[in-house]
Chain A
């Protein structure tokens, strides 16, 4: 069969065929998968959109569907909620063949949060949420206490209770997204599908939305979400399914799925995968395609604890000759520096930067055209690195957090950093490449 997720996705608990992607098959909860996809293929208008998709999604897990535009994410969601029938293959949700069920029965098993769309008619928010009870009501049934309780709980959960009487046409996009989630919650289904739930939201609402889904999953709901933002997906999802050209390219743990080679194959883009310095999640940085390794010059990077990994990858991909340090052996950044072939100064694990290391760093700083200081935490152990960086002609400070939040070296730390800050260029991570480029040109011109 076509897809090739199996190396990553071990499925020891069942006797399924070897090419079955078992996603997030936690041995403690995976008594029975909530969703089983068995060799599902779909073609729309003569074009194959999904091609032999097989996957098990464990009960009570949060699975992210990722992949480039047109990979089939939305189609897969439509298959899962029964609104589209596959040309071949089967889909079971909670053990039921979803396409054999009536629309009503299916929507008691699966609730869908659509991408926020324009609403033409100005129903009050409460009425929209109430429509979530449709699958539970007969044509001539009145409004029951169960219905009322479900709607109230859903609105409270999504904090839309305060909007209850407002017309749904007059609330913001983020609020409307929450109303649609509330409507899905009112359906009281074991499974929740979300199509790009964060696409039109600002960063605050993105996080709030995914936190809410995460909470629901914690209470036993199974959630499948198509998510564009790989980093949000990596942070919140228990498992990811990477779709490309209608097939599963990889499935399983985010760290496994989000490999540089998978991303290159799926998205046709160069990307760097590292750990996020604050959250510790897998972090993907796409490199601009213009960064075609044609930059010249030498850059020294001061970092530690994973704060410099991205800068190292970005600068290396751009073509700079790199040096780094001083770093403790075993540090994430040390690994990253070795991977990009940087000239690395190291000290033993947990050891402070001694005089020998400091002078080694200083000589590399002097040899470099530009020195970059990452958003590193500074203690007495590595303060020497900053002192060495002061020898640089051209200095760039990457700041994601204020220095005071990452200074453990007291007044001495502040004094050294202030001195660097006066001479250096303070940049955000996204500006790093362009600023280093300018400074390297200046340095070359001298």
Chain B
């Protein structure tokens, strides 16, 4: 079976798994809803395009005013599910679940890319300081009660991207970016930003609790707006990464070899780094620092599908989505709500140690 067929088969299977996890998760909570009802609610909520009508006119440059097609939606299934169940699932639980899926998807994607990029199984999405950068932006906004044009998310995203860029510049000399230098620059910058965050925590006063909660990684209070933001940001970078999976494979052989095999090494590294940073920054901006998803999920999948990024990237992304939905379900279904970052770390660390001890994690 060739790689494309295998990738498609895996993707199909993991998508089905994700759907199952979503349905089960949406039924779990203070009010327990049977999976069948959840499924019906979800089908009900699914907008289905039934027709196209030409309505309204939009001004376009050059061509002037043109009537644009608009799509009419209709819910095809008029099922009789209780109104309360509908509200709970669609308005309360679903945004959080979908957001968890998107964040898990993003973090696992970035984790795969960073591990391949650094040829180091200990690499994770925040290795070049993206998470610390986002944290500084978010913590500053909360602690100093700043009011910024794009709010908390915008500040976190922007400071994450700036941090990644600074680390890249620090790790680059004469147009070359050795990964070891980049790694150390990332460590140094993260340490520095850690100090900044500590300082900001001291200054945060009343908002300390809110800041700490953000730092621990959370999905509570998720809104459809956040879902829409991630849905808009993620597809393009993911498609770019998907198109570079073969280059990532060749980069695993080492940069000298990759160059000898026709990869424009520095350019490819820039692209991968920038794209993975955007993906990470988007996820961290909405959910805070959720650890271990980007580290452990790619490892688990590497055990199952092997090191080939053409398989590893899509499967890890989908599995990461399921993983975070599951862990977030655990986080919110206990007696007291706990940040999901605590759950992923509590589950991820022992699992990672298990991998380490069974020598499945190879040092480079």
Q: Which residues of A contact B (CB under 8 A)?
A: 78, 81-83, 102-108, 110-112, 114, 117-124, 127-128, 131-132, 134-135, 137, 139-140, 142-143, 169, 183, 187
Contacts and interface: CB of A to CB of B under 8 A. Distances in A.
A81 B307 contact: no
Contacts of A134: 246, 250, 261-263
B55 to A, nearest CB: 38
Interface in B224-255: 243, 246, 249-250, 252-254
Contacts of A78: 256
B253 A119 contact: yes
A118 B121 CA distance: 15
Nearest to B309: A121
B contacts with A: majority SS: loop
B264 interface: yes
A123 B260 contact: no
B67 interface: no
Nearest to B249: A131
Nearest to B119: A120
A114 B260 contact: yes
Nearest to A117: B254
Contacts of A124: 306
Given A127-B308, A143-B2, 14 more contacts: A78-B256, A82-B259, A103-B264, A103-B265, A108-B262, A110-B260, A114-B260, A118-B364, A120-B362, A120-B363, A120-B364, A121-B307, A123-B307, A134-B261
Contact of B243 (A102, A118, A140): A140
A107 B307 contact: no
Given A117-B254, A134-B250, A123 B308 contact: yes
Interface string B338-349: 000000000000
Interface bracket on B: 20 to 34
A103 B256 contact: no
Contact of B262 (A104, A121, A122): A104
Interface string B108-144: 0000000000010100000000000000000000000
B267 to A, nearest CB: 9
B203 to A, nearest CB: 44
B337 interface: no
Contacts of B306: 122-124
Nearest to A183: B261
A51 to B, nearest CB: 20
15 contacts: A83-B259, A83-B260, A102-B262, A103-B264, A104-B264, A105-B262, A107-B260, A110-B260, A114-B256, A117-B254, A119-B253, A120-B119, A120-B363, A131-B249, A131-B261
Interface of B: 2, 4, 119, 121, 243, 246, 249-250, 252-254, 256-257, 259-265, 306-308, 362-364
A104 B121 CA distance: 28
Contacts of A123: 249, 252, 306-308
B5 to A, nearest CB: 12
A139 B261 contact: no
A112 B307 contact: no
B308 A139 contact: no
- With a 10 A CB-CB cut-off, give which of A105, A110, A114 has the most chain B CB atoms: A114
B326 to A, nearest CB: 27
A103 B262 CA distance: 5
B259 A103 contact: yes
A106 B4 CA distance: 28
A5 to B, nearest CB: 28
B228 to A, nearest CB: 30
Contact of B250 (A102, A131, A140): A131
Given A120-B119, A122-B307, A135 B254 contact: no
Given A122-B306, A139-B243, A169-B362, A128 B261 contact: no
Given A117-B254, A119-B253, A140-B243, A132 B362 contact: no
Contacts of B308: 123, 127
B2 A107 contact: no
A108 B263 CA distance: 12
Nearest to B253: A131
The 7 closest A-B pairs by CB, nearest first: A135-B262, A107-B262, A104-B262, A121-B307, A112-B260, A120-B364, A83-B259
